[in-house]
Amino acid sequence: MTELLSRVIILTTGGTIQNDLSVEGYLSGEELVSRIPEIQEIAEITVEDISSVGSHQMTPDIWYALANRINMLSGSEYCPDGFVITSGSNTLEETAYFLNLVLKTEIPVVLTASQRNHGMVGNDGDMNLLASVRVAICEESVNKGVLVVVNDQIHSAREVTKVVTSRPDAWSSGDIGVLGLCDKYGYVQYYRETQRRHAPDVIFDLSDSSAETFPKIVVEYSISNADGSGIPHEIETGAQGIVYAGFPTGAPAEPNGGGQAEQLRLAAEVVPVVMSHRGADGWPYRRRTILEDGSFIWGDTLSPQKAAILLSLSLTKTLDPKEIQEIFLEY
């Protein structure tokens, strides 16, 4: 009797992994899968094209489309054993983290990308996609939150970030490290669990917002002698929250005792302000980023771009900075 293969649904969004130097535009999902016959040997594959954009064109519309589709399929008779999402590399981490905060399923959801197009020597997309399917059908991947599989590493959506322009070893989970490893022979091994809340144990619900009403967050970046003059303008033009990418300690620029520091204090009287930092690892010091009255929100180890996503979703639940701080400590 033939053993039934696990079912995997691949949702494509575009990016380098679907780009072929000899073809204008992006390969369809079906065309992509047809180039990797080994995939059909390990899983029954269904492909759906959600979008065909580069990572620089990623929007909340695509995030919501992905989340709604996964949530719908997970509760239907067509529920697969795992999902794989192809993405452009530059915003892969943001898509993964958004999904990690809104999906309502324990079924493995794996995102992957590539650094080199089809037709280039050293194309890494095929191996990344094959490894992602293997991780998606692995029983140990259940209820791990949203995963990112690239370069034989399994990352948590919360920690992973792209740190290199075009080499295959472009992604890192920094101080906290990868969840596990996989290899070309199909072996998948986990070494740790994430300690922060993740899908499906989340408070956020897509019905609380939409792509059109997704709260607008601005990231303010620290540089020497920054005066923060753009902050009031951002609030006047609709920013509903600010994430500050401070110096690596989290300290804001304070030329002549004012600058960004003073503007952030004033902004915190109007909108929530999250203190992050521009460094690669560690966290902003609490003593430098949270006022005694709790006006600022400590961003913990989240990168500025992920802090912006969590702040947007937090604003769909509450406007109270103290309640938002509690959310940041949980997620």
Helix (H) or strand (E) holding 9: strand 6-14
pTM here is 0.95
Query: Residue 169: which of 183, 182, 150 has the closest Cα?
Result: 150
Same domain, 145 and 19: yes
Same domain, 168 and 219: no
Q: What angle do CA 24, 29, 32 make, to 5 degrees?
A: 70
For residue 247, give both structure tokens: 């110096």
pLDDT band at 287 (very low <50, low <70, confident <90, very high): low
Same domain, 94 and 135: yes
Q: Which residues are tagged catalytic?
A: 16
Same domain, 184 and 275: no
How far apart, in Å, are the Cα atoms of 247 and each of 80, 244, 278, 306?
Answer: 44, 9, 6, 17
Q: Examine the fold and report which residue of 157, 190, 223 is the final residue of a domain before the chain moves on.
A: 190
Q: At what angle do helices 92-102 and 60-74 cross, to 10 degrees?
A: 40
Same domain, 173 and 45: yes
pLDDT band at 108 (very low <50, low <70, confident <90, very high): very high
Predicted confidence (pLDDT) at residue 290 exceeds the cutoff of 80: no
- How many domains is the chain partitioned into structurally? 2
Same domain, 24 and 105: yes
Same domain, 186 and 219: no
- Residue 196, in any domain of the structure: no
- Residue 205, in any domain of the structure: no
CATH code (residue 266): 3.40.50.40
Location of structure tokens 């040997």: 41
- 211-255 pLDDT, tens digit each: 999 999 999 999 999 999 999 999 999 999 999 999 998 888 988
pLDDT band at 27 (very low <50, low <70, confident <90, very high): very high
In the prediction, which pLDDT does 258 show? 82
Please state the three-class secondary structure of 82-147 as a single string.
Answer: EEEEECCCCCHHHHHHHHHHHCCCCCCEEEECCCCCECCCCCCHHHHHHHHHHHHCCHHHCCCCCE
Same domain, 162 and 224: no
Same domain, 251 and 106: no
Domain around 302: 215-330
Residue 139, SS3 per DSSP: helix
